[in-house]
Amino acid sequence: MITKTCVACNKPIKGRIDKKFCDDSCRNNFNNRLHNYSIPVVRNINKILRKNRWILEDLLSGRKNKMLIIERKELVEKGFQFEYFTELFHPYKKKQYYYCYDYGYRSINSKKVMAIKDTRKRHKTYFSYLPNNSNY
């Protein structure tokens, strides 16, 4: 019989064959180390992006139309940083939408912005380049 060891602490594991960790503490420590960004710049940018998204989500929560016109100054007071976004979308030549994941905004004028929830349909089409009669 093969003795398995914990991935995190190398202690022997008792129980199921597919078990990887000896307890929840080892599993948590292993996953925290795995998902910890060692580069401070990446960690800080992700923190800013998550905060921007959280601010927009908080403003739009409970609204049916998922749209709100708000003063730029109010967003800055809440800690919003306009320089950080995950996507730039411009469906029309004059309008540009800046997204923080699934929440976004666009400038109305120099003092106001429109905050929105992303409602675009996003369907990925795989193998769209293959001919219709292919066997893939």
Read off the pTM. 0.65
pLDDT tens-place string over residues 77-104: 999 999 999 998 887 777 889 999 999 9
- Flag whether pLDDT at 74 surpasses 80: yes
Q: Rounded to an integer, what distance in angstroms lies between the CA atom of residue 53 and that of residue 42?
A: 16
Q: Is the pLDDT of residue 22 over 70?
A: yes
φ, ψ for residue 84, nearest 5 deg? -110, 120
User: Could you tell me the residue ranges of all domains in the chain?
Assistant: 45-117
Kindly tell me if the per-residue pLDDT of 135 is higher than 70. no
